[in-house]
Amino acid sequence: MLPRQNRHALLTLAAVALVAGAGVAWAATARERSLAVYPAQHVPLRFDHAQHLEAGADCASCHDAARKSQSVKDLNLPGHEECETCHDIEAGRKGKPTDPPSACNTCHPGFDPTVRKEPAKLNMPAANLKFSHQQHVDKKVECSVCHGEMTDVKLATRNQLPKMATCFKCHDGTVASNTCATCHPTEPSGRIRIAFDSGLLRPMQGNPLGMDHGPRFEFNHATRAKSDRMTCLQCHSESYCQTCHDGMQKPLSIHPNDYITLHPVQARAGTPRCESCHRAQSFCAACHERVGVGMDADRTLRARNQKVHPDYAAWVEILGPQHHGIAASRDLGSCISCHREESCMSCHSELSSRRQINPHPAGFAQSCKKLASANDRACLKCHSSDSLAAKGCK
C-alpha cells in the first residue's frame, strides 16, 4: 500500500486531471463565441455594471460615443472624462477619501502609482466584423437586444458581444439583410474571409445555419453541399473543393486505420465512390502493381497462394459465363483498378503484335462511321487512320 502522503498526492493529481479534462470538454463543445470573430481580450479592470445601473446610470452615461460609431475599430469605452462625472479621480490620486471611491486601484486592481507609472494596458482587439452602432441606434435597436441585460453583469467582456443567432432575430432576410457579406469581411474575390490572426472562421456546434464544421464534417458534408451549394460558395471556391476531390491531394483522415486491408469491400460496393478522389488508371493500378497485384506487376511480388481469376482457359480462351469479357461488361471498374488500358490493347488492338481479337459486338460495323465521325480518338487507340478508312468508318 502507498504511504499516506503519496496517496494524498495521487488523489490531488486525479482531481486536477478531472477538472482539466472537464474544462477541455467544455471548451470543445460549448456554444461559445469564435475567436476568429471576437479575438481574445485582456481587460485588467474592476467594474460592476449592475452596481452602476442600480445607482441610476444608463448605457449612454458611459458609452455615449457608441451612438455615432460606424466602425468596429471604435473602442466606445469610457475614459477618465466619463468617469469623472461621478468619481473625483484627482482627489483619489492624492489619497483623499471620496464617495464613491476614486483611487486608482478602485478600477485598476493592484496598481500602485508609487511603483508603476501607469496601470496595465487594456487590450480589446476589434471584432472581425462589419458593424455600425449608429445605424442600429437610428433604427431604435436597444442596447440590450445585442448585449443582453447587464443587471447581473460585473465586468463586461467578449461574452457580452452578440452571437450570430442573436443577429438573425432581425437579420432574417425581411427586416434586415441576411447575406453573409452584410456582417462578415470579404476577400477581393467577394467570398467571406475565413483566416484571421486570431483564428480560423469555422462554424461549429450551435451554428444557427446548421453548418457544423466539426470533426466529422469531412465525412458528412456531401449531403449539405448538394442541397445548399450556394451557401458553401460564400466561403469556399471550386478550387478549394478540388484540393481534395481532384485526386491529387487526398486527406488521410478520410479513411480509418488499416484501410489498405479493408478497402476492397468498399471499393467493390462503390461506397464511397473511389473515383471521386482517386484516378483508377494511375492511383489504383500503380499501387496494386507495387504490391504485386496486376498483370504488369513484378512477377517476384505476386502472391503464390491465391488466385484472382479463374483458370486461364476459362477466363480467356473459352466463351462462357467465366469469360473475362462477361465480367468486364458487368463491372469494368474492378478491371481497371488492376489493369491499364494497355493491358486490354495487348490483345484487342489491331496494332498489337500479340493478338488482334475484335472486342466489338456483332453489327458494330454499321454504326462505326457515325461514332468515328463524332470522335475518332477512341478508335485510333486500336486502329490506324488507314484501317478505319478501309473498313468504311471514315
Name which of 365, 385, 363, 367 is nearest 376 in CA terms.
385
Residue 201 DSSP one-character state: -
Prediction pTM value: 0.62
Contact 191, 179 (CB under 8 A): no
Of 25-39, 52-66, 159-173, minimum mean pLDDT range = 25-39
Query: What confidence score (pLDDT) does residue 137 get?
Result: 96
Is the pLDDT at 1 greater than 50, yes or no?
A: no
For 209, the grid coordinates are: 445555419
Looking at residue 250, its pLDDT comes to 65
- What are the grid coordinates assigned to 115, written together? 511603483
Rounded to whole angstroms, how far apart are CA atoms 367 and 35? 64
What average pLDDT score do residues 345-374 get? Answer: 89
Question: Mean per-residue pLDDT for 161-172?
Answer: 93
Label residue 191 by pLDDT band (50, 70, 90).
Answer: very high
User: Which tens digits make up the pLDDT trace of 309-342?
Assistant: 899 899 999 989 999 999 998 888 888 888 888 8
pLDDT over threshold 70, residue 248: no
CB 393, CB 367: distance < 8 Å: no
Q: What percent of the chain has pLDDT over 70?
A: 90
Please give the backbone phi and psi of residue 313, each rounded to the nearest 5 degrees, phi first.
-65, -45
Shortest CA distance to 59 belongs to which of 171, 153, 129?
Answer: 153
Q: Tell me: the pLDDT tens digits for 207-244?
A: 888 888 888 888 788 888 888 888 899 999 988 888 87
- pLDDT band for position 294 (50/70/90)? confident
Q: How far apart are CA 155 and CA 161, in angstroms?
A: 13
